[in-house]
């Protein structure tokens, strides 16, 4: 029996397998509203057999967008535009998830599709950014340090976005605390130099994330809640896998169900050592150390490799990104490569199953 193609229960839901689509920004929204591109992009992965299709980093406020072209859930028009996309994912048998995010000091940047780099000027549609401390990401505009009222507002923005996500039909909610965005900025001592209750010792640096987990759980009592962590800053003196493990356990106590383990993104001087499956060890550390379920991600590109991650006990599921872009039917192909019979091949594609 393939572990990769065994179902996984998630707070009253069941993912039909453990090969999932990681959130991947498309930089193709208009005023935070997803477009036809998002519909086709996400629905195809569900047709391709994914267990969960996780929509991209979706801003909880206009100021929280990575770029002017990011999707959002800060108003009802965005919620209503997501609804048919979510319906298409679910109709094809996958669970529909969304990553709720605030970019902090990495907001108001040019989309990589634009051909520009750095912060978007105000006269070109940019906006002031915020962070735990007034420390700029290298090459970006300096942010404003958040006061406690601004922090409280962000907590409520996450809760409101969670409610809209559920109203749109999303079944799984992921809180983005990775890749150098706002919640990661609070967690890491490289970006958080605060001297109040949100800075300094680990419990204080984790306070904002834990408050958000609690409020999202209140706003979406029945939904599986994921947290995505960067388990290492890949920089001296930064956030590391031991702190990730500790905070994951605290988040689980407050209502988080599952942890999506990535790495990096906080500082430009990071030194990432990449190789196939290079982040799997981080996932394994968190899984064993915190006693929580996790997904592994990062250069996992074929069925045997993904199966090995699970059989080794290093993770409970595998997230993939680029491989799904190369092959939107990655799960169907993986099942064939592993010799697994699944009952969710689209009937229209059955003629290709034996190839």
CA distance 44 to 289: 36
Structure tokens belonging to residue 325: 């872009």
- Mean of the pLDDT values across residues 276-294? 97
Domain membership flag for residue 256? yes
CA distance 342 to 262: 29
- Mean of the pLDDT values across residues 147-159? 98
What CA–CA distances, in Å, run from 41 to 44, 56, 67, 86, 92? 6, 11, 19, 12, 13
Pairing mode, strands 144-145 and 172-177: unpaired
Q: For residue range 297-309, what is the model confidence (pLDDT) as tens digits?
A: 999 999 999 999 9
- Mean of the pLDDT values across residues 96-118? 97
Domain membership flag for residue 190? yes
Q: Of the candidates 57, 22, 21, 26, which has an alpha carbon nearest to the alpha carbon of residue 39?
A: 26
Q: What is the pLDDT of residue 355?
A: 56
Mean pLDDT of the chain: 97
Query: What stretches of 206-292 show up as alpha helix (H) in DSSP?
Result: 207-219, 241-253, 280-290
- Mean of the pLDDT values across residues 302-321? 98
Q: What is the pLDDT of residue 302?
A: 95
Contact 105, 185 (CB under 8 A): yes
Contact 344, 46 (CB under 8 A): no
What CA–CA distances, in Å, run from 57 to 42, 73, 129, 176, 325? 13, 10, 17, 7, 17
Domain membership flag for residue 2? no
Q: What is the pLDDT of residue 205?
A: 98
Q: What is the pLDDT of residue 99?
A: 98
Q: What is the pLDDT of residue 300?
A: 97
pTM for the model stands at: 0.97
pLDDT classification of 266: cutoffs 50, 70, 90: very high
Q: SS3 breakdown of the chain: % helix, strand, coil, rounded to 5?
A: 40, 15, 45
Domain membership flag for residue 201? yes
Residue 54 φ then ψ, to 5°: -100, 115
Domain membership flag for residue 1? no
Domain membership flag for residue 171? yes
| pLDDT exceeds cutoff 70 at 55 | yes
Q: Which of 27, 181, 198, 349 is catalytic?
A: 181
Range of the domain at 61: 8-352
Structure tokens belonging to residue 170: 């999303």
Domain membership flag for residue 219? yes
Q: Which CATH number does the domain housing residue 167 bear? A: 3.20.20.70
- 27 catalytic? Reply is no
Residue 138 φ then ψ, to 5°: -55, 120
Query: How many domains does one find in the chain?
Result: 1
Domain membership flag for residue 3? no
Query: What stretches of 233-349 show up as alpha helix (H) in DSSP?
Result: 241-253, 280-290, 303-311, 322-326, 330-338
């Amino acid at each position: 029996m393939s572990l990769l193609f065994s179902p996984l229960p998630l707070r009253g839901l069941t993912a039909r397998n453990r090969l999932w689509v990681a959130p991947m920004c498309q930089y193709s929204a208009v005023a935070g509203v997803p477009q036809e591109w998002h519909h086709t992009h996400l629905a195809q992965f569900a047709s391709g057999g994914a267990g969960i299709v996780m929509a991209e980093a979706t801003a909880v406020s206009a100021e929280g967008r990575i770029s002017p072209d990011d999707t959002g859930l800060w108003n009802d028009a965005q919620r209503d535009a997501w609804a048919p996309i979510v319906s298409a994912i679910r109709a094809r048998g996958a669970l529909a998830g969304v990553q709720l995010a605030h970019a902090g000091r990495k907001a108001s940047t040019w989309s990589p599709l634009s051909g520009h780099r750095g912060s978007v000027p105000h006269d070109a549609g940019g906006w002031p950014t915020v962070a735990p401390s007034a420390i700029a990401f290298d090459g970006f505009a300096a942010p404003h340090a958040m006061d406690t009222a601004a922090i409280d507002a962000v907590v409520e923005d996450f809760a409101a976005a969670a409610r809209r996500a559920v109203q749109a039909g999303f079944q799984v909610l992921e809180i983005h605390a990775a890749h150098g965005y706002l919640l990661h900025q609070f967690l890491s001592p490289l970006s958080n130099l605060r001297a109040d209750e949100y800075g300094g010792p680990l419990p204080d640096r984790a306070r904002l994330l834990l408050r958000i987990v609690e409020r999202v759980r209140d706003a979406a009592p029945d939904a599986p809640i994921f947290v995505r962590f960067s388990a290492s800053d890949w920089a001296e003196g930064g956030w590391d896998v031991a702190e990730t493990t500790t905070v994951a356990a605290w988040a689980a106590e407050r209502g988080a169900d599952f942890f999506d383990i990535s790495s990096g993104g906080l500082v430009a001087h990071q030194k990432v050592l990449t190789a196939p499956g290079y982040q799997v060890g981080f996932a394994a550390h968190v899984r064993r150390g915190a006693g929580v379920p996790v997904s592994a991600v990062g250069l996992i590109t074929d069925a045997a490799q993904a199966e090995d991650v699970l059989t080794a006990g290093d993770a409970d599921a595998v997230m993939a990104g680029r491989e799904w872009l190369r092959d939107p039917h990655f799960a169907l192909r993986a099942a064939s490569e592993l010799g697994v019979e699944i009952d969710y091949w689209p009937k229209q594609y059955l003629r290709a199953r034996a190839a």
